[in-house]
Amino acid sequence: MRIPGDIDQAIEYVSKVEKIEKAQSLRKLARVGFEYYVVKTYREGKITLREASDLLQLTLSETIDLLLEMGVKGNIRAKDVLASLNTFAQLD
């Protein structure tokens, strides 16, 4: 895979600042980029919270924390909460 010069400089920068190998730096930047992409897609209403959580391989609460960290407020509606509560009630 060919990496453009500006991206290579970003990898090198993160590598130096975090004192990690370039491969680790690339993986870290790829993860951050993917998180941003998923959060943006969620914010645009193209995926649900559950889908975002599954894509990121995080729990729902971890996903909500990430969304809040990135400045995205939840779009969970009262009917969604009630539906979840009913599902849990049926499990008992």
Mean pLDDT of 79-88: 70
As a whole number of angstroms, the distance between CA 63 and CA 40 comes to 13
Comparing 78 with 68, the larger pLDDT belongs to 68
Cα radius of gyration rounded to whole Å, the chain: 18
pLDDT value, residue 19: 96
Mean pLDDT of the chain: 89
What's the pTM? Answer: 0.75
As a whole number of angstroms, the distance between CA 63 and CA 84 comes to 17
